[in-house]
Amino acid sequence: MNKFQEKKGWKNIVQSKPVLILLGFILVAFSWSVFNFMVRMQETVKNRKIEEEKVAELKNRESNLLFDIANLKTEKGVEENIREKFGLVKEGEGMIIVVEDQNKIPKEIESNGFFSFLKRIFK
């Protein structure tokens, strides 16, 4: 009979209001921590995707720069680079410069209205 009363006493302590309130508070605190952890995990996933895109962009840039360096190691690449930056030509080559005519008279905009028709008749 003593064992039964001891079990009943332990059950009364566990089911008392202060212990249940304490357990409820612990459950709420644990749930809040899990929620905050999930939010931080989502932010981490987003940041990881952004950083992976940056890494891919940097790798692409690196490959382009390595190609440019390899191109500059050749005589043809150096010549193309000098021509591009400074506009130089080889000896014996000619250069053509296209210039628009500055004395060109602008044409009037013709409309298809009634008054333009009359103007064309009396010209």
Which is more confidently placed, 97 or 38? 38
More confident residue, 57 or 105: 57
Report helix angle 17-72 to 75-86, nearest 10: 100
pLDDT in tens, 53-75: 999 999 999 999 999 999 999 99
pTM for the full predicted model: 0.48
**Ordered alpha helix ranges (H), the chain:** 2-14, 17-72, 75-86, 114-122
